[in-house]
Amino acid sequence: MKILVTGGAGFIGSAVIRHVLAATDHTVVNVDKLTYAADLRSLEQADATGRYAFEQADICDAAAMQAILQRHQPDAIMHLAAESHVDRSIDGPGDFIRTNILGTYTLLDAALGYWRGLAGTKAEAFRFHHISTDEVFGALGDTGQFVEDTPYDPSSPYSASKASSDHLVRAWQRTYGLPTVVSNCSNNYGPYQFPEKLIPLTILNCRAEKPLPVYGTGSNVRDWLFVEDHAAALALVLTRGGVGQSYNIGGNSERTNLAVVETICALMDRLRPRAGGASHRDLITFVTDRPGHDFRYAIDAGKIRDALGFTPSVDFEAGLERTVAWYLGNEAWWRPLVDRQYGGERLGLAGARKTAVR
């Protein structure tokens, strides 16, 4: 099988490519625009497999998408290319509308034309897998979980743009017959994540003994999914998921944001102690909450467990320790990002004054 992966130089996309190349004999074509959060260094071993190709292109470029599909003739598309940081969507929603909505439309249109040109078993086996987020469902209270048919209620420009792209994918299946499948995941974490997100930012600020920003009171709850588990689940959805179906993918690991930060601090106290025996917890700083900050996300992953046999293999504590150890041992990967692209400044204040986290 030849799989075209959009956004394959990003955090989740690169994990998907590493998984596919290591666990199968499939060929992968990586299509990525190489925006700020993309990094081909996350795929340094891919070329050596002889089953990997890279195309630098924008999914909003219709001619480029059509040409790439014709040139590579994939058997499936895994669509991960997206702007993904909620805080950035608050400050600059236009990029999210362009990439996540218009880009998905452009890719769907190109995929439909390509699929209509296929014949026989190749046409029957073709799949368009759209990878999305649980944030499209909005916020939960203290109880309950998102299921596949939970009504959409997005809160941020990011989640609204992803909800729009989900609807487009389903419409292309129902209207035009394009064989699509959708998955919605909870918060991912693990190696190679761009340092603007909570877990890598906390690790790197601990290492530098900078303040550890926690929004509001830190009581917001997220379900955490180790990125390598997510990659394995996505491969199952692509190859065994039903056309027109959607699958929620979660890690069964609900934690408050404050608990996540405190767990990282405890790991850092053990793996890289501060001078004088001080705790990294002393660096925790509560900051003004994000506008429209959803209170709680939680995934009911019963469908993917029962239908496809997927359950997460990495529990949160073990996955977080692996992640902390990876960042401590891979400064050569993250240091250029911190020095040149993102130094820890606060984003998502909706036009208010921003201060760097120093």
- 288 falls within a domain: no
Query: Model confidence over 244-301: pLDDT tens digits?
Result: 999 999 999 999 999 999 999 999 999 999 998 899 999 999 999 989 999 999 999 9
Pick the catalytic residue from 52, 105, 158, 189: 158
Among residues 39, 58, 87, 134, the one annotated as catalytic is 134
The reply to whether 134 belongs to the active site is yes
C-beta separation of 323 from 203 below 8 A:
yes
Per-residue pLDDT tens for 156-167?
999 999 999 999
**What is the CB neighbour count within 10 angstroms for residue 248?**
24
Asked whether residue 247 is assigned to any structural domain, the reply reads: yes
Active site residue 321: no
86 in a domain, yes or no? yes
| Active site (annotated) includes residue 158 | yes
Q: Among the options 135, 166, 196, 223, which is catalytic?
A: 135
- State what percent of residues in the chain have pLDDT above 70: 97
The neighbouring-strand residues paired with 285 are 213
The answer, as to whether pTM is greater than 0.75, is: yes
- What CATH code is carried by the domain that includes residue 102? 3.40.50.720
Asked if residue 17 is part of any domain, the answer here is: yes
Per-residue pLDDT tens over the stretch 302-317: 999 999 999 999 999 9
* Full domain range(s) for residue 184: 2-192+224-252+293-313
* Residue 261 resides in a domain: no
Domain membership of residue 239 (yes or no) is yes
What's the total number of domains in the chain?
1
145 occurs within a structural domain: yes
**pLDDT per residue as tens digits for the range 217-237:** 999 999 999 999 999 999 999
Decide if 35 contacts 11 (C-beta within 8 A): no
SS3 of residue 62 by DSSP: helix
- Asked if the structure places residue 248 within a domain, the reply is yes
Angle at 16 between CA 180 and CA 59, to 5 degrees: 55
